[in-house]
């Protein structure tokens, strides 16, 4: 009797960028060559390297070109070799209006993850895509110097970061983040290319800020909560064509919550460390309940509605910077608060973190 294939198909890969299945061929492999005149992709031939250790090391830094079999006009793109040979990739998409704080959140979160702050949970992270990581590291450096990050432009079809996350039992899973500028998300045309990553996402982070969700709690507030969140609506509409929308795990994140830091119940969560406590489904539930109540009290319908479209999800209050920006800089430096919680929740809900507690997170 034929057994169904176990794990990823070795000959075919699902491309997270164009969402075509394409034949995975490592002849040739490609490298990103950067010179004063510009950067380009160049084929490399490793067959002349007769030391297996050296060859493996070199290969780990190479890329495979996606053949984009549907020829849908997606610009030429390459995937790191680590896309193959590990478990099913976890693809996390950030969704939110422009300027809601997605890019700062992603940078703060991955900075702490790379630094080893989730080691109490047995998780270690390593960049698995040298070329994109160099770009991403520029953002990290800027962030650490207390400078405001540039708004997300260009490369709307591409992902922001590619990691391997290793778990205590020796498994590794590719972890891919898409961070799309809120405006591009809604731009029509391009055959819907901008938000297409949603169709391949295995988990989502919905991001919004206090200005649009709990404005009455801000000292300078004038309006009520926003009646609509077009980025959320577009994303959910787009996901519907997948059919399994309720099954996608989600983390709903109110970032820039430093603006609410003295307010109940945000103050309570801000005092707690986000990474060292043992993983507890009840802990996630308690925070979700508090944030839900806060949003409900302020009539933040768009966020509550998006949360209720999914079977499994958590709610969070976080701050990427810890303080407001002042003329493009953070005068006292940045101090992220609780940014690892949504990541940890999604890693539990996608099965990267295993165990009886992890399996109950978000239920
Ligand atoms: N107070 C505060 N401001 C933030 C925080 N994160 C981002 N911002 C500010 O919000 C603006 C938009 O942030 P950005 O990450 O570019 O939003 P994106 O368009 O959703 O990617 C920038 O001016 C940031 O300085 C935060 O945690 N706290
Ligand atoms: Mg951005
Ligand atoms: Zn592709």
The residue extents of the domains of the chain are: 12-81, 90-360
How many CB atoms sit inside 10 A of residue 213's CB? Answer: 25
How many CB atoms sit inside 10 A of residue 56's CB? Answer: 11
Measured from the CA of 319, which atom of ligand 1 is nearest? 27
Give distance in angstroms: CA of 256 to centre of ligand 1.
7
The pLDDT value recorded for residue 223 is 67
- 193 CB within 6 A, ligand 1: no
- 97 CB within 6 A, ligand 1: no
What's the token pair of residue 156? 């709307």
The CA distance from 190 to 232, in Å, is 19
Closest CA to 201 of 168, 236, 231: 236
The CA distance from 283 to 107, in Å, is 25
Among the bound ligands, name the one nearest to the CA of residue 253.
1
The CA distance from 358 to 270, in Å, is 22
- 101 CB within 6 A, ligand 1: yes
The pLDDT value recorded for residue 7 is 54
The pLDDT tens digits for 183-205 are 666 666 555 666 788 889 999 99
- 102 CB within 6 A, ligand 1: yes
Residue closest by Cα to atom 8 of ligand 1:
101
Query: Angle at Cα 199 formed by Cα 136 and Cα 62, nearest 5°?
Result: 40
Phi then psi dihedrals of residue 168, to 5 deg: -60, -30
**90-360 — its CATH code?**
3.40.50.300
Mean pLDDT of 308-328: 92
Q: Where are the alpha helices (DSSP H) in 77-229?
A: 102-115, 130-144, 182-186, 197-200, 210-213
Say yes or no to pLDDT of 348 above 70.
yes
- 139 CB within 6 A, ligand 1: no
Say yes or no to pLDDT of 235 above 60.
yes
Give distance in angstroms: CA of 109 to centre of ligand 3.
27
The CA distance from 322 to 332, in Å, is 10
Residue closest by Cα to atom 28 of ligand 1:
256
Say yes or no to pLDDT of 217 above 80.
no
The pLDDT tens digits for 252-306 are 999 999 999 999 999 999 999 998 889 999 999 999 999 999 999 999 999 999 9
- 146 CB within 6 A, ligand 1: no
Q: pTM of the entire structure? A: 0.92
Q: Is 214 exposed, middle or buried (0-12, 13-18, 19+ CB in 10 A)?
A: buried
What's the token pair of residue 49? 């390297």
Mean of pLDDT over the chain:
89
More confident residue, 220 or 216: 216
Closest CA to 340 of 275, 282, 283: 275
* 101: region left, alpha or beta (phi > 0 left; psi from -120 to 50 alpha): left
Q: Is 93 exposed, middle or buried (0-12, 13-18, 19+ CB in 10 A)?
A: buried
Give Cα separations from 115 to 119, 141, 319 (angstroms): 9, 13, 18
- 99 CB within 6 A, ligand 1: yes
């Amino acid at each position: 009797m034929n057994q169904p294939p176990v794990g990823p198909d070795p000959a075919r890969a699902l491309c997270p960028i164009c969402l075509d299945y394409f034949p995975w061929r490592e002849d040739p492999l490609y490298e990103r060559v950067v010179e004063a005149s510009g950067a380009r992709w160049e084929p490399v031939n490793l067959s002349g390297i007769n030391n297996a250790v050296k060859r493996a090391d070199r290969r780990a830094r190479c890329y495979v070109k996606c053949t984009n079999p549907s020829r849908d006009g997606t610009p030429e793109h390459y995937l790191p070799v680590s896309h193959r040979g590990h478990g099913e990739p976890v693809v996390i998409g950030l969704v939110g209006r422009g300027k809601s704080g997605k890019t700062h959140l992603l940078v703060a979160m991955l900075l702490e993850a790379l630094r080893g702050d989730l080691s109490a949970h047995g998780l270690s992270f390593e960049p698995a895509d040298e070329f994109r990581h160099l770009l991403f590291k520029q953002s990290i450096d800027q962030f650490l110097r207390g400078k405001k990050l540039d708004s997300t432009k260009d490369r709307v079809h591409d992902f922001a970061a590619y990691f391997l996350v290793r778990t205590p039992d020796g498994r590794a899973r590719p972890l891919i983040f898409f961070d799309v500028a809120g405006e591009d998300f809604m731009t029509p045309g391009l055959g819907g290319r901008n938000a297409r990553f949603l169709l391949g996402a295995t988990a989502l982070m919905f991001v919004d800020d206090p200005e649009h969700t709990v404005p009455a709690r801000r000292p300078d507030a004038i309006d009520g909560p926003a009646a609509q969140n077009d980025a959320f609506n577009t994303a959910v509409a787009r996901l519907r064509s997948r059919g399994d929308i309720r099954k996608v795990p989600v983390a709903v994140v109110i970032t820039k919550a430093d603006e609410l830091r003295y307010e109940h119940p945000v103050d309570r969560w801000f005092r707690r460390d986000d990474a060292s406590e043992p993983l507890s489904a009840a802990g996630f539930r308690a925070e979700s309940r508090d944030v839900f109540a806060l949003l409900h009290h302020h009539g933040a319908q768009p966020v509550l509605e998006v949360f209720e479209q999914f079977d499994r999800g958590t709610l969070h209050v976080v701050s990427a910077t810890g303080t407001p920006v002042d003329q493009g800089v953070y005068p006292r430096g940045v101090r992220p608060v609780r940014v690892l919680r949504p990541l940890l929740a999604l890693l539990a809900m996608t099965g990267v973190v295993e165990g009886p507690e992890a399996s109950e997170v978000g239920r």
